[in-house]
Amino acid sequence: MYYEEVYFLEPIPEYLIDDIETIRSRRNMFAYPEHEHIYASYLVSDDLHDFVQQQFDYSVLVRYQVIGKKLPVHVDIGIQEKYNYIIDQGGDSVMTRWWDSEESPTKIVYETHIPQTVWHKMKVNVPHDITEVSHARISVQVKEKPEGHTEP
């Protein structure tokens, strides 16, 4: 399973979703701020965090994920899977692809066009990328909060 739509999570109400200017005014939690034009992970409002948290029986980190251009093949460090809710796909041709290798990717093992406003779970501990981003791809990302993590 690389990708799976999930329906046990409630759709995010429109009033809880910030516009891109408000999102970008929040703190970027991604460790490499010099790459903010490619990828950034911003804090969400307390109300959005609380809405998402009430749907999980474990503590979660909730972030806005903004992808500004093609995201190269990579593996997310320290996490096996996460939940995403696409607010804006970033273009009509954007695909999420999983590869046979991170260092020398030669074969796509799975690819999909992820729809907007549908929660999905995706495997992120295997090589994957995001293609054909024509404008900011905005999503809400949810992952389990590591034990001892003190930030929101």
CATH number for the domain spanning 11: value is 2.60.120.10
Residue 60 lies in a domain: yes
Residue 126 lies in a domain: yes
Predicted TM-score (pTM) of the model is 0.92
Domain of residue 130: give its range. Answer: 3-144
**Residue 126 · residue 82 · CB < 8 Å:** no
What band does 103 get if pLDDT is binned at 50, 70 and 90?
A: confident
| pLDDT score of 44 | 98
Domain count, the chain: 1
Residue 151 lies in a domain: no
| pLDDT score of 111 | 97
Encode pLDDT of 40-61 as tens digits.
999 999 999 999 999 999 999 9
Residue 149 lies in a domain: no
Q: What is the share, in percent, of the chain residues with pLDDT greater than 90?
A: 84
Q: Which two tokens stand for residue 106?
A: 């030669």
| SS3 label, residue 24 | helix
Q: 121: Cβ–Cβ under 8 A, 6 or more apart, which residues?
A: 1, 3, 4, 6, 81, 82, 83
Residue 27 lies in a domain: yes
Residue 34 lies in a domain: yes
